[in-house]
């Protein structure tokens, strides 16, 4: 236990050791809860992720909103549904999408490329 916890120890000759330990545990949990609540009050923006609308996401990805909705529908860009027809995106999901390289196009085999060029010349 820390020095603060030692200072807060409850000593009462009337209560049994078991009761004293239970009360001490309860006091420590209450103190921890209050400290957590105080931390949340100091920085609420860190607790709730910022949600972005489709135009903001499209701007970040330098594309249009239709592409953003298509990526969400295909499951390639995770969205947060707020209703039956309302979607939002977290900054973290956009950052992860960009970090993994977005959508990578499938490489075209060399032979298929040459065949396509030959057909286009005819």
Ordered DSSP codes for 48-69: SPPEE-HHHHHHHHTS-HHHHH
Domain boundaries, the chain: 3-46, 49-122
Confidence of residue 10 (pLDDT cuts 50, 70, 90): low
Alpha-carbon gap, residue 11 to 7, rounded angstroms: 11
For 14-27, the pLDDT digits (tens) are: 556 666 777 777 78
- Please state, as a whole number, how many other Cβ atoms lie within 10 Å of the Cβ of residue 78: 15
Q: Which pLDDT belongs to residue 9? A: 56
For 92-121, the pLDDT digits (tens) are: 889 888 888 877 655 555 565 566 666 666
Sheet of 87-90: strand order equals 51-52, 87-90, 80-81
**Phi–psi pair at 87, nearest 5 degrees:** -125, 150
For 39-81, the pLDDT digits (tens) are: 767 665 566 778 999 999 999 999 999 999 999 999 899 999 9
């Amino acid at each position: 236990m820390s020095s603060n916890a030692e200072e807060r120890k409850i000593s009462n000759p009337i209560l049994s050791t078991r009761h004293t330990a239970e009360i001490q545990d309860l006091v420590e949990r209450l103190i921890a809860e209050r400290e957590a609540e105080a931390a949340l009050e100091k920085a609420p923006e860190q607790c709730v992720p910022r949600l972005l609308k489709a135009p903001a996401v499209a701007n970040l990805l330098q594309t249009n909103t239709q592409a953003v909705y298509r990526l969400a529908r295909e499951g390639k860009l995770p969205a947060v549904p707020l209703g039956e027809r309302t979607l939002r995106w977290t900054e973290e999901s956009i950052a992860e999408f960009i970090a993994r390289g977005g959508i990578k196009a499938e490489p075209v085999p060399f032979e298929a490329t040459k065949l396509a060029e030959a057909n286009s010349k005819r």
